[in-house]
């Protein structure tokens, strides 16, 4: 199977980096084809504007969705954006590896979504949610948090993690047709011992060995 891993962390010695490398190794060893987008390593520009395109629909007024639809029709995406779109179209499973920042995605990863998930190409009228362009593909969020697990439950300090992730799971992934798998979460890695961090990587490896047999994750009531 084909797997795309989109990685968003600036520190190569971080737990996120270890999870990223572990995923590459585990999936490759299991016989899968793996492509990656190391956003900080690529120096990916998260700002979405006319530089997304080589085509122009309306030079006098910029409306991104209209420019995206036009670019889809005339093959007018900038080469580096087209490359990222092709990776998403190629994969059977997409994994995002990132730290939870301000209850959401790091800016560089959100900007990747803003620029790559283009109207016309990744979603369009009549092709969202259950009829989405990426129907049949799976997606998984692998992330770290700053606090312990007890902070991310109903009634906890930060509230239920599933609620925090719902705008990503439902509003981005399910919206474009992906089947969402349960998130892989390492809580408070900065407070873990070396042994505990090694155990988290071992758990991740074991999970990835059977990842394509997993049942979908229930995002929640809509």
SS3 annotation, 98-149: EECECCECCHHHHHHHHHHCCECCCEECCECHHHCCCCCCEEEEEEECCCCH
Q: Which residues are CB-contacts of 179 (< 8 A; sequence separation ≥ 6)?
A: 136, 137, 138, 139, 216
Q: pLDDT at position 219, please?
A: 84
Domain boundaries of the chain, sorted by first residue: 2-213
Q: Which residues are CB-contacts of 95 (< 8 A; sequence separation ≥ 6)?
A: 3, 4, 5, 6, 23, 139, 140, 141, 142
Query: Model-level pTM greater than 0.75?
Result: yes
Q: How far is CA 36 from CA 42, 134, 188, in A?
A: 11, 18, 25
Q: pLDDT at position 37, please?
A: 98
- Architecture in CATH of 2-213: 3-Layer(aba) Sandwich (3.40)
Q: Which residues are CB-contacts of 192 (< 8 A; sequence separation ≥ 6)?
A: 186, 200
Q: CA-based angle 34:37:43, to the nearest 5?
A: 155
Q: pLDDT at position 220, please?
A: 64
Q: What is the pLDDT along the chain (222 residues), one digit of tens a residue?
A: 999 999 999 999 999 999 999 999 999 999 999 999 999 999 999 999 999 999 999 999 999 999 999 999 999 999 999 999 999 999 999 999 999 999 999 999 999 999 999 999 999 999 999 999 999 999 999 999 999 999 999 888 988 999 999 999 999 999 999 999 999 999 999 999 999 999 999 999 999 999 999 999 988 643
Q: pLDDT at position 222, please?
A: 39
Q: pLDDT at position 218, please?
A: 85
């Amino acid at each position: 199977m084909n797997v795309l891993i989109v990685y968003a962390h600036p520190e190569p010695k971080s737990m996120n980096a270890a999870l990223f490398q572990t995923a590459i190794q585990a999936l490759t060893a299991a016989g899968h084809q793996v492509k990656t987008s190391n956003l900080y390593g690529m120096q990916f520009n998260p700002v979405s504007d006319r530089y997304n395109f080589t085509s122009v629909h309306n030079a006098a007024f910029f409306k991104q969705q209209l420019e995206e639809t036009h670019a889809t029709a005339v093959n007018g995406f900038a080469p580096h954006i087209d490359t990222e779109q092709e990776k998403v179209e190629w994969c059977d499973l997409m994994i995002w590896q990132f730290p939870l920042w301000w209850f959401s995605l790091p800016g560089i990863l959100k900007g990747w979504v803003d620029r790559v998930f283009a109207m016309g190409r990744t979603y369009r009228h009549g092709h969202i949610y259950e009829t989405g362009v990426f129907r049949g593909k799976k997606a998984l969020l692998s992330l770290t948090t700053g606090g312990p697990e007890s902070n991310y439950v109903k009634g906890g300090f930060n509230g239920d993690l599933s609620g925090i992730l719902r705008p990503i799971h439902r509003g981005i992934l399910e919206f474009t047709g992906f089947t969402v798998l349960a998130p892989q979460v390492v809580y408070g890695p900065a407070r873990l011992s070396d042994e505990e961090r090694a155990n988290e990587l071992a758990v991740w490896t074991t999970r990835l060995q059977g990842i394509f047999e997993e049942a979908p994750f229930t995002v929640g009531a809509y």
